[in-house]
Amino acid sequence: MSIVTVQLGQCGNQIGFEVFDALLRDSHSSQGLCSKRENEAYQTSCKERFFSEEENGVPIARAVLVDMEPKVINQTLSKAAQSGQWKYGQHACFCQKQGSGNNWAYGPRWADHLRPGIRDQPGQCGETLSLLNIQKLVIVQNYNSILTLSHLYRSSDALLVHENDAVHKICAKLMNIKQISFSDINQVLAHQLGSVFQPTYSAESSFHYRQNPLGDLMEHLVPHPEFKMLSVRNIPHMSENSLAYSTFTWAGLLKHLRQMLISNAKMEEGKENSGWAGWLTPKTCLLFKSYSFAGPFLFCNFWGFFCLFSTRAYIHQYTKFGIEEEDFLDGFTLLEQVIASYCNL
């Protein structure tokens, strides 16, 4: 199965770069508890899933980069090329010059211009395709949050939610980073995303990987169209220098992960590890679950939107780009129903 990534906005492009970089480094890692043959099968499956045919020996990421100003896209393209390990396609980006001014309404007008670039990617893939949309909700105005969430709810099969506060806590407490940067946070997010999308064994053998792992996850975790919000936890977070001294066992990790599930903990407590978390540790456990606190999460944005919209504040900034009051009300109504559904669980 091949996955095409659509990286939207500054955060989407920065995290997207970290995801591809982590995936390729992982596929070339010499660590692990598998044979040489199993490792080669893993590397081949990973490259086929996230990268297209190599150009001059350099894999090309299956991705489309989108932003309303060129600065971040140029930086992302440059960083990937400078790595010497992989790069983005030559024509796999779309940007404008003036930016969007943090106005969600500015984006949809360019949808028709984006479609050809996105359609070119599936043409380079195999029979099965999944589309991974990396997008950030910037709470500059609650209007943007409501419009983005309602749009994603209508168009996606599932939404994987990451909380900045939880990721920041992982960086501070488990990785002992004194001055946490956006790059540190993005690397943790890339670690978590990669643990979800990397190849997993099928029931056949350790040399065969699932053809549609995302479909399998959705089948078990999204039982109803209104319950699309998911969260991910993975342990342990530890430095590469600590791997040689690790005493983790599968039974111990699974027990700890089960405790995190019961207490709804967002990170592993009681384990003090310093340094950056190595991408592929010999033993890594993943918990992928429904986002049980989706109701309160949505309600915070919902209430802020209601306070603004009741006075029609800033509405004119959206209507001039073709977003009508009915669009706000449709999004408002949709998320109101979603909040009610989650609160009634």
State the average pLDDT over residues 96-112.
70
Sorting pLDDT into bands at 50, 70 and 90, what band is 236? Answer: confident
Put simply, whether the predicted model's pTM sits higher than 0.85 gets the answer: no
Residue with tokens 């940007």: 95
Q: Which residues of 226-248 are buried (b: 16+ CB within 10 A; e: fewer)?
A: ebbbbbbbbbbbbeeeeeeeeeb
| pLDDT reading at 297 higher than 70 | no
Summarised one tens digit per residue, pLDDT across range 160-198 is 888 888 888 888 887 778 889 988 899 888 888 888 888
Q: Residue 140 above 50 pLDDT?
A: no
Mean per-residue pLDDT over the chain, rounded: 77
Instruction: Render pLDDT for 72-81 as a digit per residue (tens, 0 to 9).
Output: 999 999 999 9
Q: What is the mean pLDDT of residues 315-340?
A: 87
In this prediction, residue 135 has a pLDDT band, given cuts at 50, 70 and 90, of low
* Domains of the chain and CATH, by start: 2-290 (3.40.50.1440)
Share of the chain above pLDDT 90, in %: 10
CB proximity list for 312: less than 8 A, separation 6 or greater: none
More confident residue, 98 or 50: 50
85-89, 131-135, 221-225, 253-257: which range is least confident on average? Answer: 131-135
- Spatial distance between the Cα atoms of 199 and 238, rounded to a whole number of angstroms: 22
CA–CA distances in Å: residue 103 to residues 148, 161, 308, 330? 11, 22, 15, 18
State the Cα torsion 245-250-256-260 to the nearest 10°: 120
User: What is the average per-residue pLDDT within 85-112?
Assistant: 77
Q: Which residue has the higher pLDDT, 79 or 264?
A: 79
> Are 295 and 339 in contact, with CB atoms under 8 Å apart?
yes
Where residue 277 falls among pLDDT bands split at 50, 70, 90? Answer: very low
Mean pLDDT on 293-307: 68
